[in-house]
């Protein structure tokens, strides 16, 4: 019985997470990003100096693999959570 209650609680938590992912508005965030970018393009009273770093940054195979795996994991978790949420939302509705 405890296992059933634990599974039910997990399902409810995942449905809530998926519902919050679906209802996240994208427009206000993009508007805030645009406003921030426009504030960056204002005239700066001082002159910008070009600073050279010690080493040139180059992307190698390991860093590109890590980036692609990170994006894959985030996409897989998001897609899995949304699919799980849609399934149980369809059962409940």
Q: What is the mean pLDDT of residues 34-45?
A: 72
The reported pTM is 0.39
The pLDDT value given to residue 60: 83
Banded pLDDT at 11 (limits 50, 70, 90): confident
* Token reading at 76: 């897989």
Banded pLDDT at 63 (limits 50, 70, 90): confident
- CA–CA dist 20, 78 (Å, integer): 11
Nearest to residue 90, comparing CAs of 3, 6, 11? 11
Q: Where are the domains of the chain?
A: 1-22+64-93
Q: What is the mean pLDDT of residues 7-18?
A: 84
- Looking at residue 14, the DSSP 8-state letter turns out to be H
């Amino acid at each position: 019985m405890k296992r059933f209650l634990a599974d039910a609680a997990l399902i409810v938590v995942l449905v809530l997470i998926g519902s919050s992912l679906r209802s996240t508005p994208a427009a206000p965030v993009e508007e805030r990003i645009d406003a921030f970018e426009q504030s960056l393009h204002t005239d700066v009273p001082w002159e910008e100096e070009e600073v050279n770093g010690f080493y040139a940054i180059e992307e190698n195979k390991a860093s590109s693999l890590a980036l692609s795996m990170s994006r894959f994991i985030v996409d897989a978790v998001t897609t899995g959570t949304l699919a799980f949420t849609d399934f149980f939302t369809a059962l409940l509705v």
